[in-house]
Structure 1
Amino acid sequence: MAVKEKLSKEEKQELLKVLTYEKVKGKPIYYRGYKKVLKGELPPEAVMGSSGLQAFLIRLLVEFLLGALDRKMYEVLFNEIGFLCDKDSWRNLDIAVFEKEKVKPHLVQDKLIPIPPLVVIEVDTKADLSKYMNFEGYMYEKAEDLLNAGVQRVIWYITKVKKVLIAEPGKDWITADWDRDVEVLKGVELNLKKLLDKEGIEI
């Protein structure tokens, strides 16, 4: 979508729809850098795309999950899955592990997925954080929304500080170094540092 220097009110509203990353209780959360798009300084694709680091880590994590999980029981989805977590709220998910039979009917529909995944794994975020005090405020809010919607475990990797948040309902949330073994599902433990070492890459 080309961006003109001056947009009409209608054009601006249409562009804001495109630039909406998530919606919480009817209020939009935009992609980080969306204001530059509205000013014509960047095209929408420049703020909506993943960084090389984020895309690479998600690829590593997805490859691990596809190899470690029973594919007859679980479905691994990625690439910003739209999850309808409440009536007026939806969240984008980097990686989500679903029970295969429960999610199967929704895989052929061009709609947000209305059933909660068992596990959500996030890497950083592309959300605009200007309405939050800091990244942690956004992360904790989103993790809580997901758990309240029925997700059993949220695992969130933060690359800047090489930390991982592990959040589960009814338990104290844990923040640890990302070389920690993290249980995804029973019997399946994930260690991002080991995956990076296997690739011969240090971040």
Structure 2
Amino acid sequence: MALDIKEKSGKKRRRIPKELIYEMRHGSPIYYRDYDKVLSGEKTLEEVMGSSKLQAFIIALIVGYLPSKINNNKYLILTNEAGFQWAPRTWRNLDIAIFDKKKLLKEGINDKYAKTPPEVVIEVDTKADLKKYGDFMNYQREKTQDLLNAGVKKVIWYTTFDKKVMVAEKGKRWFITDWDDTINVFDNMKLNLNELLEKEIQD
């Protein structure tokens, strides 16, 4: 299936396959980065959907670290672009999401997107096309605010292009710091990405 994207004149411009939609916000699609190169035949769908080595490496490190630090009877960690839908025609993909296990299991484990807000979301860069946002920061702020408004308690966002981490909590001051800063994820659980990376490389 495909979406008919129209110009302001109302004329059909081109059909974009739904597989190229990365996220949806109030019925407005957010496409994968370089989706237009898939349409022109320059890239395959798999190429734009895939993670960079660094992005995948960081996510794997964090996912490997978290289970040893949290109460696994109380919390459940989902990854691999876990879908979270909190309103009609509105959903976001999450790199790492920490859920209250009891709440998520009550919803049921099935082939649908989660409707239960995660306790914490951890993002690493993005695969979204940013043309309509102007830059990454505008997209980052919008997605973070959407997640907090939907009930997520904390969003932690690591960016590889500047080695920064943004921490956002509803009702609190958002801040940006460096990878070598120790972040309180939740329940006094600490995460220092720089230390994780150095330990992995040394080992």
Q: TM-score, normalised by structure 2?
A: 0.90
The amino acid across from 2:79 in the alignment is: F
RMSD: 1.2
Q: Deviations over 1:115-146 (max 9, x none)?
A: 10000000000000000121000000000000
Task: Return the alpha-carbon distance in structure 2 between the equivalents of residues 143 and 65 of structure 1.
Answer: 21
Q: Deviations over 1:72-99 (max 9, x none)?
A: 0000000000000322210000000000
3-state SS in 1 of match to 2:17: helix
The residue that corresponds to 2:183 in the other structure is 182
TM superposition shift of 1:105: 4.1
Task: Return the alpha-carbon distance in structure 2 between the equivalents of residues 92 and 162 of structure 1.
Answer: 22
More strand by share: 2
TM superposition shift of 1:16: 2.3
The residue that corresponds to 1:76 in the other structure is 77
Is 2:98 the counterpart of 1:97?
Answer: yes
Task: Return the alpha-carbon distance in structure 2 between the equivalents of residues 114 and 32 of structure 1.
Answer: 25
Structure 1 spans left out of the alignment, 5+ residues? 1-11
The amino acid across from 1:63 in the alignment is: G
The amino acid across from 2:18 in the alignment is: K
Q: TM-score, normalised by structure 1?
A: 0.90
The amino acid across from 2:183 in the alignment is: V
Is 2:34 the counterpart of 1:33?
Answer: yes
Task: Return the alpha-carbon distance in structure 1 between the equivalents of residues 17 and 55 of structure 2.
Answer: 24
TM superposition shift of 1:170: 0.5
Q: Deviations over 1:167-187 (max 9, x none)?
A: 000111000011111111122
The residue that corresponds to 1:62 in the other structure is 63
Is 2:47 the counterpart of 1:46?
Answer: yes
